[in-house]
């Protein structure tokens, strides 16, 4: 099972994204995410540079591709998705929570209906654990690709950076696309 996390907004002290499940018929929108501040780290950033830039418990993990397993979290005392081999980070989970105080480098799942927060996260955590556990039990390798959307501010000539968002939205089964125009999705990414 392959997950795709598109970070779409980086606030002063948090990052909002959209989590998709990759499928042969297109990427299926799953939920929104909340992470710590994106400080521009990538999987290819040197460990020394990561250590220099990273602020513990306040920095989003580097963009890149990671293997994901579902196992028992000793801290959370429940089965959770765990990202493996994240450079400069350890114990990175995908779990429920609502604010940046709940992240500590991890990825929170839910609905971004309140500025700087995700809500209704418990149901999304449970469903994601179920989906990934089923795939793991079938012998599939779970993974996640984390990337930043390079959305640019509006320019005098129109929407800069919108073409990439349109292309992705058209191949995705994102329920937001049905409720709002792609242009509104773009504008709302600046929340």
Residue 172 tokens read as: 């995705």
Looking at the domain assignment, is residue 123 inside a domain? Answer: yes
Helix H or strand E segment including 80: strand 78-83
Looking at the domain assignment, is residue 176 inside a domain? Answer: no
Looking at the domain assignment, is residue 161 inside a domain? Answer: no
Looking at the domain assignment, is residue 114 inside a domain? Answer: yes
pLDDT at 183: 40
Please tell me the number of Cα atoms within 13 Å of 63 on its side-chain side: 17
Looking at the domain assignment, is residue 125 inside a domain? Answer: yes
Looking at the domain assignment, is residue 187 inside a domain? Answer: no
* Structural domains in the chain (count): 1
- Per-residue pLDDT 10s for the chain (191 aa) are 999 999 999 888 999 999 999 988 889 999 999 999 999 999 999 999 999 999 999 999 999 999 999 999 999 999 999 999 999 999 999 999 999 999 999 999 999 999 999 999 999 999 999 999 999 999 999 999 999 976 433 333 333 344 444 455 544 444 443 333 344 444 444 44
Owning domain of residue 69: 2-149
Question: What is the rounded CA–CA span in Å between residue 106 and residue 8?
Answer: 17
Question: What is the rounded CA–CA span in Å between residue 127 and residue 94?
Answer: 12
């Amino acid at each position: 099972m392959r997950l795709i996390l598109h970070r779409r907004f980086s606030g002063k002290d948090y990052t909002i994204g959209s989590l998709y499940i990759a499928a042969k018929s297109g990427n299926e929108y799953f939920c929104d995410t909340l992470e710590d501040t994106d400080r521009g780290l990538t999987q290819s950033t040197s460990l020394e540079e990561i250590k220099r830039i990273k602020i513990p418990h306040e920095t989003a993990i580097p963009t890149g591709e990671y293997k994901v397993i579902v196992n028992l979290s000793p801290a959370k005392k429940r089965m959770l998705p765990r990202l493996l081999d994240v450079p400069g980070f350890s114990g990175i989970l995908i779990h429920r929570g609502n604010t940046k105080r709940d992240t500590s480098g991890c990825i929170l799942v839910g609905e971004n209906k309140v500025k700087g927060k995700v809500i209704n996260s418990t149901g999304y955590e449970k469903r994601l654990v179920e989906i990934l556990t089923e795939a793991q039990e079938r012998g599939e390798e779970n993974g996640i690709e984390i990337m930043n959307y390079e959305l640019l501010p509006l320019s005098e000539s129109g929407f800069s950076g919108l073409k990439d968002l349109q292309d992705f939205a058209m191949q995705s089964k994102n329920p937001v696309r049905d409720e709002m125009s792609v242009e509104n999705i773009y504008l709302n990414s600046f929340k």
